[in-house]
Amino acid sequence: MVGGGPLGLGSVLRYVVKLPIGRSTELRLVVRHYEELVRCSGTLDGPSMSGTWSWRYRSREARTTVFYETAVTLSGILRFAGRLVEDQVAADVRRNLDALKAYVEAGRVSTR
Segment 45-58, tens digit of pLDDT: 988 788 899 988 88
The secondary structure element, H or E, covering residue 54 is strand 49-60
pLDDT one-digit tens code per residue, 46-90: 887 888 999 888 878 877 788 888 888 877 766 666 677 667 777
pTM: 0.71
Give residue 97's Cα distance to chain centre.
9
Please name the helix (run of DSSP H) or strand (run of DSSP E) that holds residue 12, with its range, or none: strand 12-18
Report which residue type is found at 93.
V
